[in-house]
Structure 1
């Protein structure tokens, strides 16, 4: 079947939608028809449920610090324009553009599935990462509480977990996180910029930078280890803020930091370029040229060892600045591994000893 182009539109194909990041909604790469749909003035969030048999996903990527993860949701209402997970919506027959942030899938039985997997006789505990694809504390979690259920299972099994989020809603679960303690859990909280206006455009439904710093403070006060994640660093747009973000996070109580330069895989590249030219036309050429420098002349290089760091003079300088700022603020780049020796299956004979 040939790849056809079809326009189904009575209005503009590209426009800013209130409270959303993407400016368009083109079909994903697996569709036989390259359909483009008119952008509405407003877009409501739609959620459907997906009942699952298994919830733990595995990977063999050598540049990731984990090999298993859990994602309670598909799609993300936060609407970050740079989100590397946007292309996953194409697998579902939906657009990585506006659909990704408005047509969500929830997994209401995720906690039950996780409990079954942890109780399997051949299960071997290793750190579980949550939030590596889409944010577990995006707005719909307030009512769905799927992430809370997952944490309850992990606490009951004394299972190590590392959480990645931009959502201040993580504060709601401080009771569980503090009970698990620094040996079993840590939180990575992403602060991309301290500029509230830029953050609103980049990440339209994410709490403000100051609100995220306050979340770091509250977690730290409760004894939860927090890593500030400057991800992504956008060359020519946010890279000048590295030192300021690290300083603010350290002052709030973070104990570690990490940084990843902007990644633009697959459909993310045209979506980001469209957003950049609309919001910051005077910086677009500089930003895109610098991104290409980071990736050998392309907007993205998916090669292991390069995709998380970039290459070239400016990429090396960014890493040098980051390492120096970590030393100056006392933030660790690496933390000791979480414990697996405490793992138990509640109600089993082994839990009696």
Structure 2
């Protein structure tokens, strides 16, 4: 791990910035046919309650931005996600002076679940790069930012995006090989919220059917990579990672940190985050480990379980004993990591 004392002091500095500015909200048109980009930014205007889906958030909608620290962080949401479940992290980042941009990932967001998995993973890094372009094309924001040092944070499928932005290479064929080898132990990673193993006689049929579908859809062998020289620091939270060539992250292209959850049932740590950490140590940082946290621990505010299907609700639910009071400190550590690596 990197210098924990330095990160702690930067976290306190981030905290001390909290307060003076409010959090503004803007929506930018996507570039080259992409979906909209949600932007959170410092503003001097007063916040008001804003309703977004099931969430009531305090924001200054369409308020003019003011200068913060001059840096941008792009957030890549998880499968079926949206900007609002990362609003608490966005606030900590805005309080630390960052502008935060959240692209809507094609076919894999809360309004459209039509194309999750490897098809989405191929598109996501480019969507992150074009989100930076969208900010650069917006004069009111571009005038306040230097876009040569951008941070990327991603959670779950967004963590997959983050690892790709850090220099990792992955392959749909590697994803299939992983599922062939570990379908019983990592079923949720291979199938998502479409089916679950119930410990009965149908489990064998579910495994066979899942592998038939995966072999048919995701047999392409090429390795996928993406490089954007503007991205200079990356944080991956509970990342989907079993389809990566872990050795490609032994020396990350940029400073890389991970946040892990010990009781993650959707992306079992030993196949995903632990594999990447073992490959990149000591050249990466374990920024925070939540030993009692589940896959949805980093969603804050958490989505109401009644809005989810039964499988997703089970996979995202907080395990008994997990205390969400730890999350503000995790968010401050993420902000501190970006302050350390993006500011001069």
Q: TM-score, normalised by structure 1?
A: 0.35
Q: Please tell me whether Structure 1 or Structure 2 has the larger radius of gyration of its CA atoms.
A: 1
Q: Of the two structures, which has the highest relative contact order with CA contacts closer than 8 Å and spacing of 6 or more?
A: 2
Q: TM-score, normalised by structure 2?
A: 0.36
Higher helix share: 2
